[in-house]
Structure 1
Amino acid sequence: MLTTVPDIQEIIENRFLVTHFQPQVSLKRKAVVGLEALSRGFDPKSGEIIPPTLLFAQARDKASRLALDRACRTNAAESFAALHRKDKSLMLSMNIDASCINEETRGSNHLLNLVNRCGISPSNVIIEIIESRCEDTDALMSFVNFYRQNDFLIALDDVGAGFSNLDRIPLIKPDVIKLDRGLIKGVNEQFHKLEVVRSFVQMSNRLGCLVLAEGVETAEEAMCLLSNGVDVFQGFYFARPAPGLDAVPGMATKVDALAERHRENRTQQIADDKRLYSSYDLTVLTMCQGLAETQAKDMGQALSAFVESYEGVECLYVLDMRGTQISDTVCDPGRLKTSKRFLYEPATIGADHSLKEYFLPIQAGLEKFTTRPYISLASGNLCITISHVFYHKSSGRHRILCVDMSREIDGGCL
């Protein structure tokens, strides 16, 4: 256990630094696609490693932070150069202390000169920026634009953490978005976290950038993320940071096992969903046939009977073809939240549903539609809504039955 740390200037000048690499793994490719360079110091007297938090805490002024940052980058590039010669496809992810990017440093071209000297192709280098640490936005953008023009890739690190400035995403237009460990931890068990991840994946697909999940520690987290569009992973589950790129014991086995498990799970899930949604369709069609023969004044009673008869039905309500609610919302009282009633309240007669996801496809001409899982505003629970057109004989008009079906979280990952 270190009791004292060598002077930071002594560490920098004598390069008492070591670079560890942590693999970035693509499960779909079943391969290591990149390495993140992580710097540690060491005490030359005892040989003990100085943890990064302790190491960087010693650089208390701007000059020391810049000097340490450059020394770490130099060590990382020189350590990676030999690996690059063996495998030209391997990417190097290198952290940049964004607080060091300012008017004085942005034109130094230090990193470009460094990788050229080490014989590393700039297109194999990903510059990771923690944007919240940057104090000079103009200097940051000048830095990003220069290195992008010279074929480097830009990553935003710790996205989704605490006070991450999401407005920097359209400003920087990153090539890679690294989702923070705080967002990844337990994502398979927390629907709200999963929805945030899905939002980042959807946004990244549209922006043409890659999502990387860092801090993955369990197979369940990896499986959940893979099922929701994330393909590149980094974390202790696969490998801890270590010098070089020697074979990590068990990693290939883990990757193969996860890939096979994902294939089996997706195949099974598709089959299960087909059976489940077929049963939903039959249930809703049966309800529609019953409602078609029901007088308007008895519609509420019929909906109540359906709620009691069919397991998993949370709420039922009927709309006209303009999206206006023409029945009360009848719910299973056992499923309604007793708290947060100001947030979750069943809609009443006359409510406008014309912009809802379950109405617009019907307006566009579909006979039925099923939404993705979401938190119901009627019950506060996770559900799907199935909307289905039926002909109401007594009124001589078409109506829309909307059925909120409970959708329990399957291991937190839908």
Structure 2
Amino acid sequence: MTLFQSAQQLAIAQNLQAFFQPILELRGDVLRLTAFEGFAHGADDSFLGTPDLMGAPGDGAMDRTLLDVACLTRVLRAGGELPDSTLLSLNVHTSTLALLPEFPVFLSECAAEAGIPLTRLILELNVQSGSGQGTEHLDVLEDLRAHGVGVALDDVGVRETNLDQILEIRPDILKLSPLLTRGLLRDPRRQAILEALVDMTRKMGGRVLAKNLESVEDFRIARWMGVTLLQGYLFGVPGPIALWKEHPFPQEWHLRSFMRRPARLVQPPEPISRDRIH
């Protein structure tokens, strides 16, 4: 049985569901829909939350890795119904890439089944503590890059995602930890760190994404600091594919029009907590 088949079977057995949240790009005075981040949601919530909570305590590394790729199969299958003009960001752990040298073939099979070109995919990397990985994940990333897959590094600024990871992985996108983006208006220290990260990333040829934005005030500060990729409840909460098909997300707004809209532009029937998202 191939990795692809095993992952599909686990996704069905665990009743994994896919949820998507929009990512916007700021160009001048216009906000444009540029991507969706896909999340996996388990029926019993057993593998939601931080990377350290993936799987039950005591599960082996390969069990957690199989669960990781099972989540990807479910998100990709549902993501095939998203607009062709948008990118799709997929969560994956660096340990999964290290343990599965066949990951590029697996991702190609999943994307082909969903009808999504690899050039529309972004791998959003989570770095796990105590993974004991060497450089195997870097070899896998180089293979994926050669096929047009983008790379984002999640939770930059906290835990294991620090400067050494940035140097090794060379991400196209730095996704800032919410600890750096909440309360920006009233915290000059956060503003100074954000400004430095934006400047560093620009010089390295990448871009910064501010996630978990919930207030117009924090959005304004992030904009002044030079952040051009934005995600959070201010713009839209995670919802199932049916929500985005029934209520297509607007392709763009002018900032003046956006500022007059309510804080939550799209509200799914049963929003899921930020603390319970894979």
| TM-score after normalising by structure 1 | 0.54
Equivalent residues of 2:152, 2:171 under 8 A apart:
yes
Residues in 1 aligned to 2:161 and 2:147: alpha-carbon distance in whole angstroms:
27
Which is greater in Rg? 1
* 1:279 paired residue number: none
Amino acid at match of 1:137: G
Separation (CA, whole Å) in 2 of partners of 1:33 and 1:140: 27
Matched, 1:241 2:242: no
CA shift in 2, pair 1:239/1:107, >3 Å: same
- Does the 8 Å CA contact 1:213/1:233 hold for their aligned counterparts? yes
C-alpha contact (below 8 Å) 1:239/1:248 kept by paired residues: no
> What is the CA–CA distance in structure 2 between the aligned matches of 1:254 and 1:146, rounded to whole Å?
34
Structure 1 residue runs of 5 or longer lacking an equivalent are: 1-9, 44-48, 262-414
Residues 246 and 23 of structure 1: is their aligned pair in 2 closer, same or farther, counting only changes over 3 Å? same
In 1, the alpha carbon distance for the partners of 2:193 and 2:246 equals 34
CA distance in 1, matches of 2:159, 2:54: 21
- Alpha-carbon distance in structure 1 between the residues aligned to 2:174 and 2:62: 29
Residues 356-367 of structure 1 mapped to structure 2, 5 A cutoff: none
SS in 1 for 2:155: strand
What's the counterpart of residue 54 of structure 2?
56
- In 1: Cα distance, 2:200 partner to 2:257 partner: 25
Indicate the RMSD between aligned Cα atoms, in angstroms.
2.8
Deviations 1:320-340 (A, max 9, x none): xxxxxxxxxxxxxxxxxxxxx
Structure 2 residue 200 is the aligned partner of structure 1 residue 203 = yes
CA distance in 1, matches of 2:256, 2:152: 26
* Residue 116 (structure 1) shift: 2.2
In structure 2, do the counterparts of structure 1 residues 246 and 220 end up closer, same or farther at CA, with 3 Å as the change threshold? farther
- Verify the 8 A CA contact 2:93 2:127 in the aligned structure 1: no
Given candidates 124, 127, 130, the residue that maps to 1:131 is 127
In structure 1, the residue matched to 2:37 is 36
Q: Does 1:106 align with 2:101?
A: yes
1:148 and 2:145 matched: yes
The 3 A distance-change label for structure 1 pair 258 and 186 is farther
Q: Does the C-alpha gap of structure 1 residues 116 and 235 become closer, same or farther in structure 2, counting only changes over 3 Å? A: same
Aligned residue-pair number: 243
**8 Å contact 1:174–1:209 — kept in the other structure?**
yes
* Identity %, equivalent residues: 25
2:195–2:225 Cα contact (<8 Å) kept? yes
**2: CA distance, partners of 1:236 / 1:258:** 19
Shift of 1:255: 5.2
Following TM superposition, by how much is the alpha carbon of 1:31 offset from its aligned partner in structure 2, in angstroms? 2.0
Instruction: Point out which structure has higher relative CO (alpha carbons under 8 A, 6+ apart).
Output: 2
**Shift, 1:160, TM fit:** 1.2
The answer to whether the 8 A contact 1:30-1:259 is kept is no
